[in-house]
């Protein structure tokens, strides 16, 4: 029963209010008793003086009627003693007084007797009548007033607890209801339903929690869509060359095929096999880069020399297309993972060579700035439409499928580039115009 947050909130409120009210009741009662006691003492002493003055002016044989009248008019019990053991008028309080106390008053002393409570406190004072001293004792007879006050206070405390508890039931419902919704939403989320949303228009902590939950579900939906797209793209990228390999393998089984056709089919099978191999390598490399266990070893080395070696490695490809390579590579030293950045330049230069028509031009330059180094690779290739430039770094994105398939791309090269540059706390940007060419800019931190 008490495992419910709703019940706990209500019980906690009731407990807190009860403790507060009890503490307030105790403090108030003590304060009231002190105030009431002071007032009682002052009122009793003042009334005793008035009664004593009246009795002094009244004949002793009329004291009985006078005392009864005064008791009826005021909430006091009055006793008049003419000796330590003899009551002259009023009520006998010998059970509360001793003969010695009566004697002391008759000797001219005033005194307070007993605990200072309305039911027990007695005040005595002497009076003179016909050359004789009498002892007058007055006791308050209104204890019910204090009792009534406590009863009223207890009733108020109980009323506050009941009304406050009922009100807290409503307030707790307002607090707990969105948490129950959140619980149901998390259960749906655990079952794979990523379309669940809270959408609470609140600005308190629960509203912040709801907003965070909606942001989390959005990211999970996005990741799930990326996962589905990834599986679909991998399946497509593998299925396409496998279909070609299977088809041409079946064709090779025919006896009527000429030797030239057989060699042609074998070249296609080899090309598609290499395409699957490259896809597998890129997938493994990308998965390794995105994990936390990929080796990352930064060393200081000459960046300009590294780019020149990449250009030499790719020379058979760009010279075959008769491309002009313009270099502006001043001496530049950086601290980075040499092998990873080699992959970056290989991918970027490979794309420029692949999508630049025969006889085109590729320019590579290094620009050293105060806190970073920029490497800009510009080509006169086919260019990238504006609407596609923000997506070229996504996995498996290849723009025009027919154009990309003809060049044997898998759509992972630029995704690998961006990941490697990010690992170096750098940035990569693209600027392109269709029919004019593309400029890829890599920005890396310079040596401290």
Domain CATH code at residue 258 = 1.10.287.130
- Given a cut of 90, is residue 305 above it in pLDDT? yes
- 278 and 317 in a single domain? The answer is no
pLDDT band at 119 (very low <50, low <70, confident <90, very high): low
Residues 259 and 300 in one domain: no
Q: 443 by DSSP, 3-state: which?
A: strand
- In this prediction, residue 66 carries a pLDDT of 83
Residues of the chain with pLDDT > 70, as a percent, come to 77
The CATH number covering residue 352 comes to 3.30.565.10
114 and 141 co-located in one domain: yes
Under DSSP, the state recorded for 281 is H
284 lies in the same domain as 300: no
With b for 16 or more beta-carbon neighbours within 10 A and e for fewer, the 406-439 pattern comes to eeebbbbbbbbbbbbbebbebebeeebeeeebbb
How many angstroms separate the Cα of 217 from the Cα of each of 190, 211, 220, 223? 11, 10, 5, 10
Q: Domain check: are 118 and 25 in the same one? A: yes
Cβ atoms within 10 Å of 79's Cβ, excluding its own: 23
Last residue of a domain, one of 288, 315, 350: 288
Question: Considering the domain boundaries, does residue 197 fall inside one?
Answer: no
Q: Are 36 and 95 found together in one domain? A: yes
Domain of 272? 205-288
Over the Cα atoms of the chain, what is R_g? 51
Q: Are residues 76 and 43 in the same domain?
A: yes
Band (293; pLDDT cuts 50, 70, 90): low
Alpha-helical (H) ranges within 109-204 are 143-190
User: Does one domain contain both 366 and 281?
Assistant: no
Q: What is the pLDDT of residue 404?
A: 47
**Average pLDDT of the segment spanning 168-192:** 77
CATH number reported for the structural domain that contains residue 78 in this entry: 3.30.450
Q: Does residue 441 share a domain with residue 313?
A: yes
Residues 303 and 436 in one domain: yes
Higher pLDDT, 400 or 224: 224
Q: Are 441 and 299 found together in one domain? A: yes
pLDDT at 233: 62
- The residue with tokens 């706390």 is 425
372: burial class by Cβ within 10 Å (0-12, 13-18, 19+)?
Answer: middle
Look at the chain and report how many structural domains it folds into.
Answer: 3
> How does pLDDT run across 85-105, given as a tens digit for each residue?
888 888 877 777 888 888 888
Distance between CA atoms of residues 262 and 248, nearest Å: 9
Question: Does the pLDDT of residue 138 top 80, yes or no?
Answer: yes
Per-residue pLDDT, 1: 47
Give per-residue pLDDT as tens, 242-264.
887 888 888 888 877 788 888 88
Q: What is the mean pLDDT of residues 278-285?
A: 69
Q: Is 28 exposed, middle or buried (0-12, 13-18, 19+ CB in 10 A)?
A: middle
Is residue 313 included in any domain, yes or no?
Answer: yes
Q: Are residues 433 and 329 in the same domain?
A: yes
CA 425 to chain centre: 29
Give yes or no for residue 304 having a pLDDT over 80. Answer: yes
* pLDDT given at position 403: 46
């Amino acid at each position: 029963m008490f495992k419910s947050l709703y019940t706990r909130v209500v019980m906690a409120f009731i407990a807190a209010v009860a403790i507060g009210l009890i503490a307030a009741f105790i403090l108030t009662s003590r304060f009231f008793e002190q105030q009431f006691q002071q007032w009682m003492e002052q009122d009793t002493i003042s009334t005793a003086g008035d009664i004593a003055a009246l009795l002094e002016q009244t004949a002793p044989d009329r004291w009985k009627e006078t005392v009864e009248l005064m008791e009826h008019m005021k909430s006091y019990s009055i006793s008049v003693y003419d000796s330590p053991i003899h009551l002259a008028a009023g009520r006998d309080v010998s059970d509360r007084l001793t003969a010695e106390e009566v004697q002391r008053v008759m000797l001219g002393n005033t005194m307070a007797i007993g605990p200072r409570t309305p039911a027990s406190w007695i005040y005595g004072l002497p009076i003179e009548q016909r050359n004789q001293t009498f002892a007058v004792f007055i006791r308050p007879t209104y204890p019910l007033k204090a009792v009534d006050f406590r009863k009223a206070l207890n009733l108020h405390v109980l009323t506050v607890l009941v009304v406050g508890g009922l009100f807290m039931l409503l307030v707790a419902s307002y607090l707990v209801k969105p948490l129950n919704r959140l619980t149901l939403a998390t259960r749906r989320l655990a079952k794979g339903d990523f379309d669940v949303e809270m959408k609470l228009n609140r600005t308190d902590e629960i509203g912040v929690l709801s907003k965070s939950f909606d942001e989390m579900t959005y990211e999970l939906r996005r990741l799930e869509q990326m996962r589905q797209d990834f599986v679909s793209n991998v399946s497509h990228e593998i299925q396409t060359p496998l279909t070609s390999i299977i088809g041409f393998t079946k064709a090779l089984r025919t006896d009527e095929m000429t030797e030239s056709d057989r060699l042609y089919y074998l070249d296609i099978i080899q090309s598609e096999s290499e395409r699957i191999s490259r896809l597998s390598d890129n997938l493994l490399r990308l998965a390794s880069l995105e994990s936390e266990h990929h080796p990352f070893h930064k060393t200081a080395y000459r960046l300009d020399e590294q780019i020149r070696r990449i250009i030499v490695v790719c020379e058979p490809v760009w010279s075959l297309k008769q491309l002009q390579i313009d270099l502006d590579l001043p001496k530049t030293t950086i601290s980075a993972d040499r092998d990873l950045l080699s992959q970056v330049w290989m991918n970027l230069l490979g794309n420029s060579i692949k999508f630049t028509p025969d006889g085109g031009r590729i320019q590579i330059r290094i620009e050293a700035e105060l806190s970073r180094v920029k490497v800009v690779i510009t080509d006169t290739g086919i260019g990238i439409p504006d609407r596609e430039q923000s997506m070229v770094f996504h996995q498996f994105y290849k723009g025009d499928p027919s154009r990309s398939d003809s060049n044997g791309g898998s759509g992972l090269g630029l995704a690998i580039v961006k990941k490697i540059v990010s690992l170096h706390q750098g940035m990569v940007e693209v600027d392109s115009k269709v029919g004019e060419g593309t400029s890829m800019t890599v920005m890396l931190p310079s040596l401290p």
